[in-house]
Structure 1
Amino acid sequence: MNELIKKLVESYGPSGFEEQTRALIRAEVEPYADEISVDAMGNLIVLKQGDGSGKKVMIAAHMDEIGLMATHITEEGFVHFTNIGGVLQRVLSGNRVVFADGTVGVIDGEPIDSRLKVHPLNRHYIDVGATSREDCPVPVGAAAGFKRDFVAQGNRLTAKSMDDRIGCVIAIETLKRLEKPRHDVYFVFSVQEEIGVRGAAAAANAIHPEVGIALDVTRTGDTPKATPMAVALGGGAAIKAKDSGMIAHAGLVRLMRQRAEEGNIPFQIEVLDGGSTDARAMQIAGPGCASGCISIPCRYVHTQSETVDVGDVNACIDLLTALLNQEIDL
């Protein structure tokens, strides 16, 4: 599984520019799909047909990652930029980014009079080695993703874009395990989640699922002086009860707990006070659906060193597989 994780997290795919990541996922899932398509927004939709006795279920994991977009090139060839998604200004300086054509740049900021200050985005720039505006290979409007290698140390896995390539891995591995599911399961590898769950909204409005389950990362409360939160790395799959964009369907939360307890799958309950997932979009699409989320505990979310635990990843795969292989009676 680490080989698949490495391949996905190191791929280029800022919101709106997910083609490379989508191609990697498509090659991985095609042998297991009954139907596969790409919609107008770029969502990869993979159908695993059920036996006709179950529900229409949508599983959403987003392919896109946070990134940057060039807004202006200085006369000296430095690239000014804006954010794509929730980029943290405090972790920018010194980081490398890569553009779609392979151009690599280094981020820095203008001089500051105090090491305690953090510059806003518009006082940072990217150095791509150019010496003039004419020499700069990056045009205005070009998107950049962060560049950082995947690292596995024991049970801990660290990389950029674990949010949400690790959710994509969980969806892929679950699809591989489903042989004769009860339900028609639509695995949606969605686009543009980081800028407002846009891809999942479009897909859910087309599919009209009865049940929607997002797979995404969540914060933990287990680092020094962290905001108190009852989610820890290594504590198992996190079953979402609420975040700032939705309240999970109570019956679905109960069923997730039940399946976890029946299968001795480690789990914890998540209440997230900031952020949301594709589950929000599914919940209110079309006629609405019973919506929830299986979250992957993750430290350092929206940095270039997002960290997850292998045991938690496996617990999420086990829980989702158990849900899809049995009745979903809410």
Structure 2
Amino acid sequence: MQLNTSLLATICETPGAPGHEDLVRDLVIKEITPHVDHVEVDAMGNVTAIKKGRSSKKVMIAAHMDEIGFIVTHVDDNGFCRIHTLGGFDPKTLTAQRVIVHGKKDVVGVMGSKPIHIMSPEERNKAPKISDYFIDLGMSAEEVRELIPIGSTVTRERGLIEMGDCVNCKSIDNRVSVFILIEALKQLKDPAYDVYGVFTVQEEVGIRGAMVAAHAIQPDFGLGLDTTIAFDTPGAQAHEKVTSLGKGTAIKIMDASAICDPRMVTFLKKVADENEITWQPEILTAGGTDTSGIQRMTEGGVISGAISIPTRHIHSVIEMAHKQDIQGSIDLLKVALERMDELA
């Protein structure tokens, strides 16, 4: 089956910083409503798509809608915006980037910093800090203050392109998982249990939406969908790779926030093998996903695991995922939901 890269591009390119996922939420609701039994939106902004199964036990799948971004904290007398991060950034990825400031209207700006030509030798040898950057909108202070209230969010500007067998864009983390959950819900015909597909908010600032949703749903089983590190680039040692592009969807064993239930890990491996879905194991020693929110916020805990999408250049505007890994993730999620009653 050919990937709907047009839909993936629309999902990735739609802005939605943590706590401001409105446009992505509207897109998700439009795509899933014809394919599920019921759609709910909670007070925090999570979208829950419910699809009835053969039994009334509950399976919660979480894919977060938010992307890393910024919030405007100050406009100086020259019209430059100072910012605070919403999510984790490597400062060196900000140099020479365009952004979109979402004020009274969307305004394109650029990330500026001190030119290297006038840096001291000491400054040149220091790693950049977030505080070194400002947003230049090319406007006077009066114009900026009129258009950009303090508290306006900022997202990165970059469109999706296809590169060989891969897709490349900002916000592959985690819009590729939003895409995967949408596509799996569209294809899912006979789930074993009631499926609660939750498109969560504010994952990048602390897994907040998933915790709220899990507390309300109280699922019996849980699956997180998120990207993971593919450090399969020059200089990487074999033990550092975590995953590799094109080697299949990844079945999470653990990350820094969750140790996946061995029963779920074994089940996902079995389903993948029996359906000839290529997979690779994932152990991520730093970082976490909505999986931990599902696992912890349900009374007595949940049999939880995660399907991860190998991604290069993560938390930058050039995130890259392999089309076969994306398709394998859709396939594994769909079949796993159909066969979840085999998991004791």
TM class by smaller structure: over 0.9
3-state SS of the aligned residue for 1:76?
A: coil
Instruction: Report the alpha carbon displacement of residue 134 of structure 1 after superposing the two structures with TM.
Output: 5.2
3-state SS of the aligned residue for 1:145?
A: strand
Cα RMSD of the aligned pairs, angstroms, is 1.3
3-state SS of the aligned residue for 2:77?
A: coil
Which amino acid counterpart does residue 170 of structure 1 have in structure 2? I
Deviation sequence 1:144-203 (CA, Å, 0-9, x none): 110101011221100000010000111011001111222100000000000000000000
**Which of 25, 29, 41 is equivalent to 1:22?**
25
Per the normalisation by structure 1, the TM-score is 0.97
* Partner residue in 2 for 1:2: 5
**Which of 182, 187, 205 is equivalent to 1:195?**
205
2:242–2:284: 8 Å Cα contact kept in structure 1? no
Instruction: Report the alpha carbon displacement of residue 221 of structure 1 after superposing the two structures with TM.
Output: 2.7
**Which of 107, 110, 132 is equivalent to 2:114?**
110
3-state SS of the aligned residue for 2:260?
A: coil
Alpha-carbon distance in 1 for matches of 2:9, 2:183: 14
Alpha-carbon distance in 2 for matches of 1:328, 1:129: 60
* Partner residue in 2 for 1:77: 79
* Partner residue in 2 for 1:321: 334
Instruction: Report the alpha carbon displacement of residue 323 of structure 1 after superposing the two structures with TM.
Output: 0.5
Structure 2, gaps ≥5 residues long: none
Structure 1, gaps ≥5 residues long: none
Report whether the alignment pairs 1:251 with 2:263: yes
Deviation sequence 1:227-254 (CA, Å, 0-9, x none): 6134100000100001011100000000
- Relative to structure 1, the CA distance from residue 212 to residue 8 in structure 2 (aligned partners, 3 Å threshold; closer, same or farther) is same
Alpha-carbon distance in 2 for matches of 1:80, 1:95: 15
1:109–1:119: 8 Å Cα contact kept in structure 2? no
Instruction: Report the alpha carbon displacement of residue 286 of structure 1 after superposing the two structures with TM.
Output: 2.5
Alpha-carbon distance in 2 for matches of 1:286, 1:315: 29
Instruction: Report the alpha carbon displacement of residue 220 of structure 1 after superposing the two structures with TM.
Output: 1.2
Alpha-carbon distance in 1 for matches of 2:167, 2:125: 30
3-state SS of the aligned residue for 2:106?
A: coil
3-state SS of the aligned residue for 1:173?
A: helix
**Which of 132, 136, 141 is equivalent to 1:127?**
136
1:73–1:133: 8 Å Cα contact kept in structure 2? no
**Which of 282, 285, 307 is equivalent to 1:294?**
307
Per the normalisation by structure 2, the TM-score is 0.93
* Partner residue in 1 for 2:51: 48
Query: 1:195-214, aligned counterparts within 5 Å?
Result: 195-214=205-224
3-state SS of the aligned residue for 1:103?
A: strand
**Which of 253, 257, 265 is equivalent to 2:277?**
265
3-state SS of the aligned residue for 1:174?
A: helix
* Partner residue in 2 for 1:304: 317
Deviation sequence 1:269-304 (CA, Å, 0-9, x none): 000011010000100112120111100000011001
Query: 1:161-240, aligned counterparts within 5 Å?
Result: 161-226=171-236, 228-240=240-252
Alpha-carbon distance in 2 for matches of 1:186, 1:70: 35
Instruction: Report the alpha carbon displacement of residue 135 of structure 1 after superposing the two structures with TM.
Output: 4.3
2:137–2:144: 8 Å Cα contact kept in structure 1? no
* Partner residue in 2 for 1:58: 60
Instruction: Report the alpha carbon displacement of residue 133 of structure 1 after superposing the two structures with TM.
Output: 4.4
Instruction: Report the alpha carbon displacement of residue 87 of structure 1 after superposing the two structures with TM.
Output: 1.7
3-state SS of the aligned residue for 2:197?
A: strand
Alpha-carbon distance in 1 for matches of 2:143, 2:179: 41
Aligned residues: 329
Alpha-carbon distance in 2 for matches of 1:154, 1:123: 36
Alpha-carbon distance in 2 for matches of 1:135, 1:269: 48
Alpha-carbon distance in 2 for matches of 1:120, 1:138: 24
Alpha-carbon distance in 2 for matches of 1:121, 1:42: 29
Moved more, 239-248 or 92-101: 92-101
Alpha-carbon distance in 2 for matches of 1:128, 1:99: 9
Query: Between Structure 1 and Structure 2, which shows a larger proportion of helix residues?
Result: 2
Which amino acid counterpart does residue 314 of structure 2 have in structure 1? V
* Partner residue in 1 for 2:69: 67
3-state SS of the aligned residue for 1:293?
A: strand
1:96–1:147: 8 Å Cα contact kept in structure 2? yes
3-state SS of the aligned residue for 1:255?
A: helix
Deviation sequence 1:56-101 (CA, Å, 0-9, x none): 1000000000001111111000001010000221111211111222
